[in-house]
């Protein structure tokens, strides 16, 4: 109850203060305050627009995935599973998967090495200690230079059934390299996805 009385007294004192002001001063103050509020709203709106445009740059829209700097058509039956530390993972109804990543590079496909791959994309789970590249050849994908890479990820030295054989493509354009890695994915799905890939 005491708070309500205090708020009413405060409101009354502001009203009396404005009523006591000269008319020209009031207009000036209101105009200045209105301009300040308008500028603040404008800044807030531009921040919101910036955030929205970044969100639109990355995500799924009408069956196409838009990453920062690249896009591709999502194969039928696949859904975005997770986005984690720059890795985008999709899973199919049959539990096949593919993953995408992007990095800056000054090299072309012909000058890119296995060591460059581990430098650009290696982590605690993907490094030269448990990943054995069996094929690393320059190809062309959708008119862009690329590398077709086959490799085995070894998770159990004693039981080969726990090791995973995978196919990846590293596609180069405009100072970027996009990696698309496939696991248990049918060839026609790989071909359709890679043909739809756009960088830049």
Residue 149 is predicted with a pLDDT of: 95
pLDDT digit string (tens) for the chain, length 200 residues: 444 444 444 444 444 344 444 444 444 454 555 555 555 555 555 554 444 344 445 689 999 999 989 999 999 999 999 998 888 999 999 999 999 999 999 999 999 999 998 888 876 555 557 788 999 999 999 899 999 999 988 776 677 667 788 899 999 999 999 999 999 999 999 999 999 999 98
Residue 145 is predicted with a pLDDT of: 96
Residue 38 is predicted with a pLDDT of: 55
Euclidean distance between CA atoms 111 and 116, whole angstroms: 9
Quick one: which of 94, 66, 111, 53 has its CA closest to 182?
A: 94
Residue 43 is predicted with a pLDDT of: 59
Residue 44 is predicted with a pLDDT of: 54
Q: What are phi and psi of 22, to 5 degrees?
A: -70, 150
Residue 50 is predicted with a pLDDT of: 44
Question: What is the b/e burial string over 54-63, where b = at least 16 CB atoms within 10 angstroms of the residue's CB?
Answer: eeeeeeeeee
Residue 200 is predicted with a pLDDT of: 85
Quick one: which of 69, 58, 53, 61 has its CA closest to 197?
A: 69
Residue 45 is predicted with a pLDDT of: 52
Residue 63 is predicted with a pLDDT of: 93
Domains and CATH numbers, the chain: 2-56 (no CATH), 58-199 (3.40.1000.10)
Question: What is this structure's pTM?
Answer: 0.66
């Amino acid at each position: 109850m005491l708070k309500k009385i205090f708020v009413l007294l405060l409101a009354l004192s502001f009203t009396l203060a404005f009523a006591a002001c000269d008319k020209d001063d009031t207009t000036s103050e209101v105009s200045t305050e209105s301009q300040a509020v308008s500028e603040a709203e404008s800044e807030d709106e531009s921040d919101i627009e910036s955030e929205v445009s970044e969100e639109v740059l990355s995500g799924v829209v009408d069956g196409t995935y838009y990453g920062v700097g690249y896009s591709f058509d999502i194969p039928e039956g696949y859904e975005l599973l997770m986005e984690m530390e720059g890795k985008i993972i999709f899973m199919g109804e049959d539990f096949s998967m593919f993953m995408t990543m992007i990095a800056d590079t000054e090299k072309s496909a012909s000058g890119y090495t296995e060591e460059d791959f581990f430098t650009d994309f290696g982590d605690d789970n993907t490094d030269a200690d448990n990943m054995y590249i069996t094929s690393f050849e320059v190809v062309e994908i959708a008119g862009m230079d690329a590398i077709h890479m086959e490799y085995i990820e070894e998770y159990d030295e004693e039981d080969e059934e726990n090791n995973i054989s995978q196919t990846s493509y590293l596609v180069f354009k405009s100072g970027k390299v996009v990696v698309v890695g496939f696991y248990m994915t049918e060839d026609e799905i790989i071909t359709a996805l890679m043909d739809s890939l756009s960088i830049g």
